[in-house]
Protein backbone atom coordinates (compact mmCIF):
# COMPACT_ATOMS: atom_id res chain seq x y z
CA UNK A 1 0.00 0.00 0.00
CA UNK A 2 1.33 3.43 -0.96
CA UNK A 3 1.97 6.22 1.55
CA UNK A 4 -1.04 7.97 3.12
CA UNK A 5 -1.51 11.60 2.01
CA UNK A 6 -2.60 14.40 4.30
CA UNK A 7 -4.66 16.08 1.56
CA UNK A 8 -6.78 12.93 0.95
CA UNK A 9 -10.55 13.39 1.40
CA UNK A 10 -12.77 11.13 3.51
CA UNK A 11 -16.27 10.12 2.41
CA UNK A 12 -17.96 7.89 5.00
CA UNK A 13 -19.45 4.48 4.08
CA UNK A 14 -22.75 5.54 5.70
CA UNK A 15 -23.25 8.28 3.05
CA UNK A 16 -22.45 6.02 0.09
CA UNK A 17 -25.64 3.94 0.26
CA UNK A 18 -27.84 6.92 -0.75
CA UNK A 19 -25.86 7.37 -3.97
CA UNK A 20 -25.61 3.72 -5.01
CA UNK A 21 -28.84 3.51 -7.11
CA UNK A 22 -27.65 6.58 -9.09
CA UNK A 23 -24.19 5.27 -9.94
CA UNK A 24 -22.90 3.13 -12.80
CA UNK A 25 -22.66 -0.58 -12.09
CA UNK A 26 -19.18 -1.68 -10.99
CA UNK A 27 -17.48 -2.55 -14.28
CA UNK A 28 -16.05 -5.91 -15.19
CA UNK A 29 -13.16 -6.26 -17.60
CA UNK A 30 -15.34 -8.41 -19.91
CA UNK A 31 -18.24 -5.92 -19.89
CA UNK A 32 -19.24 -5.36 -23.53
CA UNK A 33 -22.17 -2.97 -23.09
CA UNK A 34 -22.27 -0.65 -26.05
CA UNK A 35 -23.36 2.51 -24.23
CA UNK A 36 -21.55 4.78 -21.83
CA UNK A 37 -23.27 5.26 -18.44
CA UNK A 38 -23.57 9.05 -18.31
CA UNK A 39 -24.04 11.09 -15.13
CA UNK A 40 -24.66 14.83 -15.28
CA UNK A 41 -23.43 16.47 -12.10
CA UNK A 42 -22.67 20.00 -10.93
CA UNK A 43 -22.92 22.36 -7.96
CA UNK A 44 -25.35 25.27 -8.20
CA UNK A 45 -26.43 28.28 -6.18
CA UNK A 46 -30.08 29.00 -5.29
CA UNK A 47 -30.24 31.23 -8.40
CA UNK A 48 -28.97 28.43 -10.67
CA UNK A 49 -25.44 29.81 -11.01
CA UNK A 50 -22.31 27.71 -11.39
CA UNK A 51 -19.89 30.61 -10.99
CA UNK A 52 -19.93 34.35 -10.17
CA UNK A 53 -18.90 35.26 -13.72
CA UNK A 54 -17.65 33.50 -16.86
CA UNK A 55 -13.98 32.73 -16.56
CA UNK A 56 -13.87 32.56 -12.75
CA UNK A 57 -14.00 29.60 -10.40
CA UNK A 58 -16.46 29.85 -7.51
CA UNK A 59 -16.45 27.47 -4.59
CA UNK A 60 -20.03 26.37 -3.96
CA UNK A 61 -19.71 22.90 -2.40
CA UNK A 62 -18.98 22.61 1.31
CA UNK A 63 -16.47 20.00 2.52
CA UNK A 64 -18.98 17.12 2.71
CA UNK A 65 -20.48 17.62 -0.74
CA UNK A 66 -17.01 18.20 -2.18
CA UNK A 67 -15.99 14.80 -0.77
CA UNK A 68 -19.17 13.36 -2.34
CA UNK A 69 -18.15 14.73 -5.76
CA UNK A 70 -14.74 13.12 -5.36
CA UNK A 71 -16.44 9.83 -4.42
CA UNK A 72 -18.52 10.14 -7.64
CA UNK A 73 -15.27 10.65 -9.54
CA UNK A 74 -13.93 7.39 -8.11
CA UNK A 75 -17.04 5.59 -9.39
CA UNK A 76 -16.76 6.79 -13.01
CA UNK A 77 -14.10 5.93 -15.54
CA UNK A 78 -14.02 9.49 -16.90
CA UNK A 79 -14.87 13.14 -16.00
CA UNK A 80 -15.83 15.50 -18.84
CA UNK A 81 -15.64 19.32 -18.81
CA UNK A 82 -15.88 21.97 -21.51
CA UNK A 83 -12.82 23.97 -22.47
CA UNK A 84 -14.34 27.06 -20.76
CA UNK A 85 -13.97 25.22 -17.44
CA UNK A 86 -10.50 23.90 -18.29
CA UNK A 87 -9.32 27.47 -18.97
CA UNK A 88 -11.18 29.24 -16.12
CA UNK A 89 -10.49 26.72 -13.34
CA UNK A 90 -7.25 24.97 -14.30
CA UNK A 91 -8.94 21.97 -12.62
CA UNK A 92 -7.18 18.90 -11.28
CA UNK A 93 -9.90 16.52 -12.57
CA UNK A 94 -8.56 13.72 -10.42
CA UNK A 95 -10.02 11.89 -7.43
CA UNK A 96 -8.62 12.72 -4.02
CA UNK A 97 -10.58 10.22 -1.91
CA UNK A 98 -8.45 8.33 0.62
CA UNK A 99 -7.57 4.92 -0.80
CA UNK A 100 -7.65 5.64 -4.54
CA UNK A 101 -4.46 5.48 -6.60
CA UNK A 102 -2.07 8.28 -5.66
CA UNK A 103 -3.95 8.90 -2.38
CA UNK A 104 -3.06 5.77 -0.45
CA UNK A 105 -4.11 3.24 -3.11
CA UNK A 106 -2.15 1.36 -5.73
CA UNK A 107 -1.29 2.57 -9.21
CA UNK A 108 -4.05 4.69 -10.71
CA UNK A 109 -6.91 2.54 -9.41
CA UNK A 110 -10.07 4.65 -8.99
CA UNK A 111 -8.60 7.61 -10.90
CA UNK A 112 -10.95 8.81 -13.66
CA UNK A 113 -9.80 9.84 -17.12
CA UNK A 114 -10.19 13.63 -17.64
CA UNK A 115 -11.97 14.47 -20.89
CA UNK A 116 -11.90 18.05 -22.20
CA UNK A 117 -14.32 19.12 -24.94
CA UNK A 118 -12.24 21.57 -26.95
CA UNK A 119 -13.42 21.70 -30.59
CA UNK A 120 -11.13 24.60 -31.59
CA UNK A 121 -8.05 23.59 -29.55
CA UNK A 122 -8.17 26.62 -27.25
CA UNK A 123 -6.75 24.86 -24.17
CA UNK A 124 -3.02 25.45 -23.70
CA UNK A 125 -2.19 22.54 -21.41
CA UNK A 126 1.54 22.91 -22.08
CA UNK A 127 2.00 25.64 -19.48
CA UNK A 128 1.06 25.19 -15.84
CA UNK A 129 -1.77 22.68 -16.30
CA UNK A 130 -2.67 20.88 -13.06
CA UNK A 131 -4.08 17.88 -14.96
CA UNK A 132 -0.79 17.16 -16.70
CA UNK A 133 1.27 17.82 -13.56
CA UNK A 134 -0.86 15.34 -11.59
CA UNK A 135 -0.55 12.76 -14.37
CA UNK A 136 3.25 13.14 -14.28
CA UNK A 137 3.14 12.72 -10.49
CA UNK A 138 1.05 9.49 -10.56
CA UNK A 139 -1.97 11.18 -8.92
CA UNK A 140 -4.24 11.31 -11.94
CA UNK A 141 -4.56 10.29 -15.57
CA UNK A 142 -3.59 12.39 -18.58
CA UNK A 143 -6.55 13.88 -20.46
CA UNK A 144 -8.26 12.92 -23.67
CA UNK A 145 -9.06 16.10 -25.60
CA UNK A 146 -12.08 15.90 -27.92
CA UNK A 147 -11.61 18.32 -30.79
CA UNK A 148 -12.79 19.10 -34.30
CA UNK A 149 -9.41 20.16 -35.75
CA UNK A 150 -6.06 18.50 -36.17
CA UNK A 151 -3.70 19.44 -33.32
CA UNK A 152 -0.11 20.52 -33.87
CA UNK A 153 2.48 17.73 -33.60
CA UNK A 154 3.96 19.54 -30.58
CA UNK A 155 0.69 19.39 -28.60
CA UNK A 156 -0.08 15.84 -29.74
CA UNK A 157 3.33 14.50 -28.73
CA UNK A 158 3.21 16.24 -25.32
CA UNK A 159 -0.22 14.76 -24.58
CA UNK A 160 0.70 11.29 -25.81
CA UNK A 161 3.95 11.28 -23.79
CA UNK A 162 1.86 11.62 -20.62
CA UNK A 163 -0.64 8.92 -21.71
CA UNK A 164 -3.36 11.20 -23.07
CA UNK A 165 -4.59 11.69 -26.63
CA UNK A 166 -6.60 13.85 -29.00
CA UNK A 167 -9.83 12.43 -30.38
CA UNK A 168 -10.94 14.29 -33.51
CA UNK A 169 -14.64 14.30 -34.42
CA UNK A 170 -16.74 15.99 -37.12
CA UNK A 171 -18.84 19.06 -36.38
CA UNK A 172 -22.56 18.30 -36.56
CA UNK A 173 -24.49 19.97 -39.39
CA UNK A 174 -27.99 19.20 -38.05
CA UNK A 175 -29.93 18.84 -34.79
CA UNK A 176 -29.57 20.54 -31.40
CA UNK A 177 -25.76 20.62 -31.63
CA UNK A 178 -25.61 22.09 -35.14
CA UNK A 179 -22.21 23.77 -35.49
CA UNK A 180 -20.90 21.85 -32.44
CA UNK A 181 -20.12 18.24 -31.66
CA UNK A 182 -23.11 15.97 -31.22
CA UNK A 183 -23.38 14.18 -27.87
CA UNK A 184 -24.22 10.86 -29.53
CA UNK A 185 -20.87 11.09 -31.37
CA UNK A 186 -18.98 12.25 -28.25
CA UNK A 187 -20.27 9.35 -26.14
CA UNK A 188 -19.74 6.82 -28.95
CA UNK A 189 -16.14 8.05 -29.33
CA UNK A 190 -15.57 7.62 -25.58
CA UNK A 191 -16.97 4.08 -25.78
CA UNK A 192 -14.68 3.34 -28.74
CA UNK A 193 -11.76 4.48 -26.57
CA UNK A 194 -12.67 2.11 -23.76
CA UNK A 195 -14.70 4.45 -21.49
CA UNK A 196 -17.78 2.77 -19.96
CA UNK A 197 -18.91 5.55 -17.61
CA UNK A 198 -18.51 9.32 -17.59
CA UNK A 199 -19.56 12.11 -15.27
CA UNK A 200 -20.17 15.39 -17.06
CA UNK A 201 -19.26 18.20 -14.62
CA UNK A 202 -19.91 21.30 -16.69
CA UNK A 203 -19.64 24.13 -17.22
CA UNK A 204 -22.67 26.14 -18.22
CA UNK A 205 -22.49 25.74 -22.01
CA UNK A 206 -21.95 21.98 -21.74
CA UNK A 207 -24.82 21.46 -19.27
CA UNK A 208 -27.30 23.67 -21.16
CA UNK A 209 -26.46 21.89 -24.41
CA UNK A 210 -26.85 18.43 -22.87
CA UNK A 211 -30.10 19.24 -21.04
CA UNK A 212 -32.04 19.43 -24.33
CA UNK A 213 -34.81 16.84 -24.78
CA UNK A 214 -33.01 15.27 -27.75
CA UNK A 215 -30.29 13.99 -25.39
CA UNK A 216 -32.48 12.89 -22.45
CA UNK A 217 -32.07 9.20 -23.28
CA UNK A 218 -28.27 9.54 -23.18
CA UNK A 219 -28.25 10.65 -19.52
CA UNK A 220 -28.62 7.91 -16.94
CA UNK A 221 -28.36 9.96 -13.78
CA UNK A 222 -28.43 13.58 -12.62
CA UNK A 223 -26.76 14.53 -9.32
CA UNK A 224 -26.89 18.21 -8.32
CA UNK A 225 -25.36 19.86 -5.26
CA UNK A 226 -27.34 22.92 -4.16
CA UNK A 227 -25.47 25.39 -1.97
CA UNK A 228 -27.39 27.83 0.27
CA UNK A 229 -26.24 31.00 -1.49
CA UNK A 230 -27.38 33.38 -4.20
CA UNK A 231 -24.52 34.39 -6.50
CA UNK A 232 -26.46 37.23 -8.14
CA UNK A 233 -26.85 38.37 -11.72
CA UNK A 234 -24.06 38.01 -14.28
CA UNK A 235 -23.08 34.48 -13.33
CA UNK A 236 -22.73 31.30 -15.39
CA UNK A 237 -26.32 30.05 -15.26
CA UNK A 238 -27.84 26.61 -15.83
CA UNK A 239 -30.91 27.32 -17.93
CA UNK A 240 -31.43 25.13 -21.01
CA UNK A 241 -33.06 26.45 -24.20
CA UNK A 242 -36.78 27.29 -23.92
CA UNK A 243 -39.30 24.72 -25.19
CA UNK A 244 -42.76 25.39 -26.51
CA UNK A 245 -45.73 23.14 -27.22
CA UNK A 246 -47.23 22.91 -30.74
CA UNK A 247 -49.46 26.00 -30.09
CA UNK A 248 -46.44 28.05 -28.99
CA UNK A 249 -47.11 27.93 -25.22
CA UNK A 250 -43.88 27.67 -23.17
CA UNK A 251 -43.38 24.34 -21.35
CA UNK A 252 -40.63 23.33 -18.88
CA UNK A 253 -37.29 22.67 -20.58
CA UNK A 254 -36.58 19.54 -18.53
CA UNK A 255 -37.77 17.85 -15.35
CA UNK A 256 -36.39 15.15 -13.11
CA UNK A 257 -38.28 12.08 -11.90
CA UNK A 258 -37.57 9.51 -9.17
CA UNK A 259 -36.04 12.33 -7.17
CA UNK A 260 -34.23 11.81 -3.84
CA UNK A 261 -32.74 14.55 -1.65
CA UNK A 262 -29.98 14.19 0.90
CA UNK A 263 -28.33 16.84 3.10
CA UNK A 264 -24.54 16.97 3.06
CA UNK A 265 -23.42 19.54 5.65
CA UNK A 266 -25.09 22.85 4.72
CA UNK A 267 -25.72 21.73 1.12
CA UNK A 268 -28.37 19.43 -0.24
CA UNK A 269 -27.73 16.88 -2.97
CA UNK A 270 -30.51 15.92 -5.34
CA UNK A 271 -30.44 12.78 -7.48
CA UNK A 272 -32.89 11.96 -10.24
CA UNK A 273 -33.47 10.77 -13.78
CA UNK A 274 -34.36 12.78 -16.88
CA UNK A 275 -36.15 10.28 -19.10
Ligand X SMILES: NC(=O)c1ccc[n+]([C@@H]2O[C@H](COP(=O)([O-])OP(=O)(O)OC[C@H]3O[C@@H](n4cnc5c(N)ncnc54)[C@H](O)[C@@H]3O)[C@@H](O)[C@H]2O)c1
Interface positions with ligand X (CB under 6 A): 42-43, 50-51, 54, 56-57, 60, 81-85, 88-89, 117, 119, 177, 180-181, 201-206, 209, 236
267 binds, among ligand X, ligand HJL, none (CB under 5 to 8 A by kind): none
User: Could you say whether residue 58 binds ligand HJL (CB under 6 A)?
Assistant: yes
> What's the min distance (Å) between Cβ of 259 and ligand HJL?
19
Residue with Cβ nearer ligand HJL (44 or 196): 44
Which one, of 169, 93, 165, lies nearest residue 131 by Cα? 93
CA atoms within 13 A on the CB side of 85: 25
How far, rounded to the nearest angstrom, does the alpha carbon of residue 223 sit from its chain's CA centroid? 11
Residue with Cβ nearer ligand X (54 or 265): 54
Q: What number of chain residues touch ligand HJL (CB under 6 A)? A: 16
Site map 149..188 versus ligand HJL, x via CB under 6 A? ----------------------------------------
**Position among 24, 91, 119, 235 found at the interface with ligand HJL (CB under 6 A):** 91
Return the H-helix or E-strand segment holding 202.
strand 197-202
- 3-state DSSP assignment of residue 238: coil
177 binds, among ligand HJL, ligand X, none (CB under 5 to 8 A by kind): ligand X
Binding residues for ligand HJL restricted to 190-219, rule: CB under 6 A:
201-202
93 binds, among ligand HJL, ligand X, none (CB under 5 to 8 A by kind): ligand HJL
Backbone angles phi, psi at 150, to 5 degrees: -85, 125
Residue with Cβ nearer ligand HJL (189 or 227): 227
> What's the min distance (Å) between Cβ of 68 and ligand HJL?
8
> What's the min distance (Å) between Cβ of 205 and ligand X?
3
> What's the min distance (Å) between Cβ of 140 and ligand HJL?
9
Query: Are the beta carbons of 197 and 76 closer than 8 angstroms?
Result: yes
d(C-alpha 26, C-alpha 137), whole Å: 27
Q: At CB < 8 A and 24+ separation, what contacts does 176-185 make?
A: 176/209, 176/212, 176/214, 176/215, 176/241, 177/209, 180/119, 180/209, 181/117, 181/119, 181/146, 181/148, 183/209, 183/210, 183/215, 183/218, 184/215, 184/218
> What's the min distance (Å) between Cβ of 110 and ligand X?
21
d(C-alpha 257, C-alpha 137), whole Å: 41
Q: Pairing mode, if any, of strands 257-264 and 267-273? A: antiparallel
Which one, of 66, 16, 44, 1, lies nearest residue 222 by Cα? 44
Residue with Cβ nearer ligand HJL (91 or 101): 91
> What's the min distance (Å) between Cβ of 156 and ligand HJL?
24
Report which DSSP code applies to 75: T
> What's the min distance (Å) between Cβ of 261 and ligand X?
18
- Binding residues for ligand HJL, rule: CB under 6 A, are 43, 57-61, 69, 81, 85, 89, 91-93, 201-202, 225
Amino acid sequence: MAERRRDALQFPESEREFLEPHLPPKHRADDNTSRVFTTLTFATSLDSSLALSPGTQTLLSGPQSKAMTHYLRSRHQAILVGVGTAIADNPSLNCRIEGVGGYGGDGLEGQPRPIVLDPNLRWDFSSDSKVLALAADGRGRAPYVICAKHPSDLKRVLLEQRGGKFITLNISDTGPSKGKLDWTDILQALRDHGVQSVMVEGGGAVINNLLQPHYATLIDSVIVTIAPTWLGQGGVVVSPPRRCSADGTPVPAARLRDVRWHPFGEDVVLCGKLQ
